[in-house]
Amino acid sequence: MAQLDMDEFLARFADRATAVKERGVPPLEGEARRAFVESAEKDYLDYSLIASASWSVEDGQLVLRIPISG
């Protein structure tokens, strides 16, 4: 079984956030385009929040602390 490297784990989320932000919008129109853009915005937010977390192990639990202010 693979070992969990938290710093590498968080770096993968940073890479995913960058990939979402840099990818183009496929040739979609109307509702499909709006849904794609909305999904990409949520993906970026999710990935960037996790990527910005600090982590610790407390009482046998992995704790991620995510800053919510700029």
Question: pLDDT tens digit string along 19-50?
Answer: 999 999 999 999 999 999 999 999 999 999 99
Q: What is the total count of domains within the chain?
A: 1
In a domain, 34, yes or no: yes
Domain that holds residue 38: 6-65
In a domain, 1, yes or no: no
Q: Which residue has the tokens 């610790």?
A: 56
What's the rounded Cα separation, in Å, for the pair 60 and 56? 10
Instruction: Return the number of other C-beta atoms located less than 10 Å from residue 48's C-beta.
Output: 17
In a domain, 70, yes or no: no
In a domain, 32, yes or no: yes
What's the rounded Cα separation, in Å, for the pair 19 and 27? 18
**Sign of the alpha-carbon dihedral angle for 23, 28, 30, 32:** negative
pTM of the model as a whole: 0.80
Q: Token pair of 33, please?
A: 């385009």
In a domain, 21, yes or no: yes
7: pLDDT strictly greater than 80: yes
